[in-house]
Amino acid sequence: MIVDTFVFGMLENNNYLLVDEISKEAVLFDCTQYTDEIEKSLNKHNANLKFVLITHGHFDHTLGLAKFHEKNPEIPIYAPIGDKELINETDAFVDRFLGGLGKIEIPPVTKYIDSNEELFIGNNKIEIINSFGHTKGGVCYFIDDKLFSGDTIFLESVGRTDLPGGNFEQLKSSVKNIINKLADNVVIYPGHGDLTTIKHERENNPIL
């Protein structure tokens, strides 16, 4: 499978497009902005976007969804059920932390999902791993030896826990769970910053 990375927005969020070369199905992880670059990448791979998966409810991972939905009303957007409240309060959250961005639309999520949701790209199942702590309901998505970790794990770091819904002890146990569960060779695609691996984080992540 192929991953294309897009860095968008003032917080330099990573949005990832994962393409299955066999089925030509694709999934977009997080949507900070929706630009032509994403469409170009889909065209380049001759792929169809099957759905968008949101790792957690922070605005910098969801602000592009309104435009995305306007252009692609038929493509479903899935987000974790535990962050439903946070997503529905995106306008208040942005007001409090940024202000002056003008009217923010509530991200148009098609369906809120839990870890039992059965999602596939081609024949590849996407495992939804609960990883609460950075937010109340954030998740990571695991497929094809790749972990799309949102703001749970970064290269030699972890997500902040001082925002509403954050909980350091919970985040620590979420990170431990992931490190214990997944194999060394799994590549971690975080919501910000550089790629890493389970092996590297097992050996270097200060939270452990």
Q: Which is nearer to Zn ion, 97 or 105 (CB)?
A: 97
Torsion of CA 14, 149, 153, 68, to 10 degrees: 30
Q: Whole-number minimum distance, CB 57 to Zn ion, in Å?
A: 8
Residues interacting with Zn ion, by CB under 5 A? 58, 151
Please state the φ and ψ torsions of residue 173, each to the nearest 5 degrees. -70, -30
The residue (of 151 and 201) whose beta carbon lies closer to Zn ion is 151
Measured from the CB atom, the residue of 36 and 162 that comes closer to Zn ion is 162
- Shortest gap between Cβ of 159 and Zn ion (angstroms)? 6
DSSP result, 141-165? EEETTEEEEETSEETTEE----STT
Residue 169: count other Cβ atoms within 10 Å of its Cβ: 9
Closest-by-Cβ residue to Zn ion is 58
Smallest separation (angstroms) from Zn ion to the CB of 56: 6
SS3 100: coil
Least separation in angstroms between CB 25 and Zn ion: 27
> For Zn ion, which is the closer residue by CB, 125 or 164?
164
Closest distance to Zn ion from the beta carbon of 152 (Å) = 9
**Between 58 and 146, CB nearer to Zn ion:** 58
Q: Could you tell me the smallest distance in angstroms from the CB atom of residue 181 to Zn ion? A: 22
Nearer to Zn ion, 25 or 151 (CB): 151
- Contacts by residues 152-155 (CB-CB < 8 Å, ≥ 24 positions apart): 152/55, 152/178, 153/178, 153/188, 153/190, 153/196, 153/201, 153/205, 154/190, 154/191, 154/192, 154/193, 154/196, 155/188, 155/190, 155/193, 155/194, 155/195, 155/196, 155/200, 155/201
